[in-house]
């Protein structure tokens, strides 16, 4: 069984599979060795009772903060390369902001780029953040009710 968030992450991973030469991960916890890499994760989420009163089962309107992190080796013009990957991510996400019907909508709200030269290979992380709106029932968080 899969929570609705997991279905969203899997759908996003599938949408981004068109990016050439990048390894795509969902919620990676270990150090990235092979670059370029793209990590898809949901960092936090807020939810609200849609009815605002006692309805059984409750319906939740959820907004997930999804981060798509592009990690590239910091070579010459790494900021341009990070922007190239960001453009690909943004284009592919915009093709289907419902991620195959797993969400109602998604929109880009922030992009952050950071440099880290402390390891064996210097690298750049470009965090592309989206807010993803989806809906579930309280008694069935595995089923999206986005229609």
What ranges make up the beta strands (E) of 3-86?
A: 23-26, 37-49, 59-73
* 86 vs 30, more confident: 86
* 18 vs 119, more confident: 18
Poorest-pLDDT segment among 54-58, 71-75, 86-90, 113-117: 54-58
Q: 14 φ, ψ to 5°?
A: -65, -40
Kindly report the pTM of this predicted structure.
0.88
- Contact predicate 71/125, CB 8 Å: yes
């Amino acid at each position: 069984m899969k929570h609705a968030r997991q279905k969203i992450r899997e759908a996003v991973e599938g949408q981004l599979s068109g990016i050439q030469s990048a390894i795509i991960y969902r919620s990676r916890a270990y150090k990235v060795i092979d670059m370029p890499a793209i990590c898809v994760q949901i960092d936090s989420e807020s939810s609200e009772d849609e009815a605002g009163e006692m309805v059984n089962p409750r319906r939740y309107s959820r907004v997930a903060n999804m981060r798509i992190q592009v990690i590239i080796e910091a070579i010459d013009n790494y900021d341009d390369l990070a922007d190239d990957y960001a453009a690909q991510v943004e284009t592919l996400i915009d093709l289907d902001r419902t991620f195959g019907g797993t969400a109602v909508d998604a929109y880009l709200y922030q992009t952050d780029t950071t440099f880290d030269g402390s390891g064996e290979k210097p690298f750049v992380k470009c965090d592309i953040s989206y807010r993803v709106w989806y809906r579930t029932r309280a008694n069935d968080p595995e089923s999206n009710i986005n229609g």
